[in-house]
């Protein structure tokens, strides 16, 4: 699955985003992890539209901070569903999923504290 789309490739991004979120929700359910599809879709939308490189599989600490402290409060007035207010939990699940299915971008550093491909946590 492609995880980088040019800004003008909206149809391809929307299709891939929908597929990614569907698979994430199914995987999270199997793992017993918190996830809200709307919040996950919003996070991917942020990574595609609001960052210079738009790589959906690369999440550095600065991206996490920008999403949670700036993008979500500006773009979303109310989160729907049971997971309302658990954007950090949904983002954590999204990042775990990206690593579990090997969609995390290998060209960038892993976010500290999240499992690497071997399943072990990285040490600082």
Instruction: Tell whether pTM > 0.85.
Output: no
Number of domains in the chain: 1
Residue 41 domain flag: yes
Residue 40 domain flag: yes
Q: Which residues contact 32 (CB under 8 A, 6 or more apart)?
A: none
Statement: residue 110 has pLDDT above 50: no
Residue 31 domain flag: yes
The DSSP output letter for 101 is: T
At 33 the pLDDT is 95
Residue 84 domain flag: yes
Residue 3 domain flag: no
Residue 114 domain flag: no
Nearest by Cα to 57 from 96, 85, 7: 96
Residue 121 domain flag: no
3-state helix, strand, coil in the chain (%, to 5): 50, 5, 45
Q: Which residues span the domain enclosing 31?
A: 10-100
């Amino acid at each position: 699955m492609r995880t980088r789309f040019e800004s003008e490739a909206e149809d391809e991004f929307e299709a891939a985003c929908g597929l990614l979120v569907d698979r994430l929700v199914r995987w999270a359910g199997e793992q017993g992890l918190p996830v809200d599809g709307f919040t996950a879709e919003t996070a991917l939308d942020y990574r595609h539209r609001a960052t210079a490189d738009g790589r959906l599989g690369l999440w550095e600490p600065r991206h996490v901070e920008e999403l949670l402290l700036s993008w979500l409060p500006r773009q979303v007035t109310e989160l729907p569903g049971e997971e309302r207010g658990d954007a950090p939990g949904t983002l954590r699940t999204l990042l775990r999923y990206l690593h579990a299915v090997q969609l995390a971008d290998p060209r960038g550093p892993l976010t500290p504290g999240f499992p690497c491909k071997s399943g072990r946590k990285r040490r600082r």
